[in-house]
């Protein structure tokens, strides 16, 4: 099992990581929700956006990481945070918004889970979801190359994140349960300091599964190999920075 998430490492790129939930929140058509739930709330950066937009609503954050929940509670003492497994979690009655920023790509059979959660909402309730759609980007393909090239190959075989289903699969599954479904992609281009920064970005997310089975020396060797591959795929721009291309999938479904 992978070690717990590292909130401090995750928040090294807080501004870049908070742009997608800002963009998702801008498309949520609710004026005065009673209860809003941030699914996979992480360290509370996305929950804070919900609390700021709807100060009179009950705001709840749910995550399966004790470390993330602890960080979120310290950040937002006025909100409620709880541990939960989204594969089985059920929204409490009176929930008007389920907001999920970059979490369902980790949940097995998440199409089924999204349909179940949408069906549990009251009429007019909203399911708003954002997921990275980047497993075909060099950042992730090079993880697989580095994994297959080292002495750790057998131990990290098959840990790559699954590719997301096609847009049509989400549409077909959610439309029968909703009065409106909006699905779109946004392609972000994040200027980062260099290949090391890209590796640091994913060390708190996509690389976790690769690094977890390795000892400290192997982790350092894996990261060195991965970073060298990144340097070839992400050349320096005129200002010395590199551009991390990052496509994301967005869904807003109104019950």
The answer, as to whether pTM is greater than 0.85, is yes
Structure tokens at 32: 């005065």
12 has pLDDT over 80: no
**pLDDT given for residue 1 in this prediction:** 42
Tell me the longest C-alpha to C-alpha distance in the chain. Answer: 55
Average pLDDT taken over every residue of the chain:
94
Among 3-7, 49-53, 143-147, which stretch is predicted with the lowest mean pLDDT? 3-7
Binning pLDDT at 50, 70 and 90, where does residue 87 land? very high
Strands 80-83 and 58-63: parallel
Percent of the chain with pLDDT over 70: 95
Give the model's confidence band at 8: pLDDT under 50 very low, under 70 low, under 90 confident, else very high: low
What percent of the chain lies above the pLDDT cut of 90?
Answer: 91
Please state, as a whole number, how many other Cβ atoms lie within 10 Å of the Cβ of residue 113: 18
For residues 33-47, average pLDDT: 96
Using CA atoms, how far apart are residues 111 and 131, in angstroms rounded to an integer?
Answer: 12
């Amino acid at each position: 099992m992978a070690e717990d998430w590292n909130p401090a490492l995750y928040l090294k790129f807080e501004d870049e990581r908070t742009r997608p939930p800002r963009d998702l929140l801008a498309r949520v058509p609710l004026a005065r929700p009673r209860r809003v739930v941030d699914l996979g709330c992480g360290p509370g950066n996305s929950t804070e956006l919900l609390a700021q937009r709807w100060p009179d609503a009950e705001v709840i954050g749910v995550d399966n990481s004790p470390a993330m929940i602890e960080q979120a509670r310290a950040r937002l003492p006025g909100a409620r945070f709880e541990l939960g497994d989204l594969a089985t979690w059920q929204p409490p009655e009176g929930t008007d918004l389920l907001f999920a920023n970059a979490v369902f790509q980790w949940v097995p059979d998440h199409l089924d889970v999204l349909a179940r959660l949408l069906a549990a909402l009251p009429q007019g309730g909203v399911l708003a979801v954002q997921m990275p759609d980047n497993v075909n980007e060099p950042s992730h393909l090079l993880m697989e190359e580095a994994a297959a090239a080292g002495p750790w190959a057998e131990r990290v075989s098959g840990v790559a994140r699954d590719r997301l289903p096609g847009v049509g699969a989400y549409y077909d599954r959610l439309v029968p349960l909703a009065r409106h479904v909006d699905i779109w992609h946004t392609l972000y281009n994040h200027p980062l300091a260099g290949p090391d920064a890209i590796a640091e970005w994913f060390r708190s997310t996509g690389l976790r599964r690769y690094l977890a089975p390795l000892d400290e020396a192997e982790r350092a060797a894996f990261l060195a190999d991965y970073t060298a591959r990144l340097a070839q795929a992400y050349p320096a721009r005129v200002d010395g920075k590199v551009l991390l291309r990052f496509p994301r999938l967005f869904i807003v479904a109104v019950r």
